[in-house]
């Protein structure tokens, strides 16, 4: 540990993101909280998503819980230290056989893209920060093959028709060979309506993906 980290840990002792008890290293969770908050589940009930995302849509955690809070802190408050806690959470989740079975059968992970302007403004694509290194370590390739064309308004709060209109020709694809014949893991930070995931999955399938499985870090959808 560097001198800086030692001083930092003395002034701001690292705490578990859930129970706020002290932990040894920044980014650690206590074991009990990890057990409680890893909530890997298949999101079903949306017919269009079920048809397009043949590998299924999955979430790792509840958005309303402490794992979701890490995402909110990263995305909206730019608290970059949240990344370590997110990685600890994902690595632990990936030790579970039920998670491995779904995720490790995929060849390549493709993030839902941010528009370049938005990425510039935020300074990063949170989806990449959340998943990239963790999945590479598991032997899953990473391909930024999807591009967001129009600077779409946030989907949140729009009616179904407006959402469709908003997403029309919003995405395109490059480097098709990175997904052709592959089992693709489409990753995003959160899932609200699923419209974006459906649109991106259909582009991947049209371009020869063998299957698409969707994984979001957090969601409050019940099914």
Nearer to Zn ion, 38 or 205 (CB): 38
CB of 62 to Zn ion, least distance (A): 15
Strand-pair category, 41-43 with 57-61: antiparallel
* Contact of 70 with 82, CB cutoff 8 Å: yes
CB of 66 to Zn ion, least distance (A): 8
Is 102 an interacting residue with respect to Zn ion (CB under 5 A)? no
Burial of 110 (0-12, 13-18, 19+ CB in 10 A): buried
CB of 16 to Zn ion, least distance (A): 3
Return d(Cα 73, Cα 47) in angstroms, integer: 32
Residues 6 or more apart from 19 whose CB is under 8 A from it?
30, 32, 33
Q: Which two tokens stand for residue 113?
A: 């893209």
Nearer to Zn ion, 91 or 166 (CB): 91
* Partners of 109 in beta bridges: 142, 185
* Eight-class DSSP state of 210: S
Instruction: Identify residues 16-55 at the interface with Zn ion (CB under 5 A).
Output: 16, 18-19, 30, 33
Count residues binding Zn ion (CB under 5 A): 5
Stretch that binds Zn ion, among 15-23, 99-107, 123-131, 191-199 (CB under 5 A): 15-23
Nearer to Zn ion, 89 or 142 (CB): 89
Nearer to Zn ion, 18 or 130 (CB): 18
Q: Which residues bind Zn ion (CB under 5 A)?
A: 16, 18-19, 30, 33
């Amino acid at each position: 540990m560097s001198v800086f980290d030692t001083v930092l840990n003395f002034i701001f002792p690292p705490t578990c993101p859930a129970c706020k008890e002290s932990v040894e290293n920044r980014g650690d969770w206590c074991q009990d909280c990890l057990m409680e908050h890893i909530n890997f589940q298949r999101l079903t009930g949306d017919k269009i998503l079920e048809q397009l995302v043949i590998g299924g849509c999955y979430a790792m955690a509840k958005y309303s819980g402490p794992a979701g809070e890490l995402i909110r802190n990263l995305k909206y408050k730019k608290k970059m230290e949240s990344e370590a806690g997110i990685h600890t959470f994902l690595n632990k989740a990936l030790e579970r056989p039920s998670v491995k079975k779904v995720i490790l059968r995929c060849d390549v992970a493709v993030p839902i893209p941010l528009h370049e302007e938005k990425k510039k403004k935020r300074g990063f694509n949170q989806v990449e920060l959340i998943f990239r290194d963790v999945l590479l370590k598991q032997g899953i390739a990473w391909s930024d093959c999807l591009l967001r064309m129009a600077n779409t308004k946030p989907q949140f709060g729009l009616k179904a028709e407006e959402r469709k209109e908003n997403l029309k020709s919003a995405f395109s694809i490059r480097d098709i060979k990175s997904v052709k014949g592959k089992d693709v893991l489409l990753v995003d930070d959160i899932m609200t309506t699923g419209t974006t995931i459906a649109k991106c999955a259909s582009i991947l399938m049209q371009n020869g993906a063998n299957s698409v499985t969707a994984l979001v870090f957090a969601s409050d959808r019940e099914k």
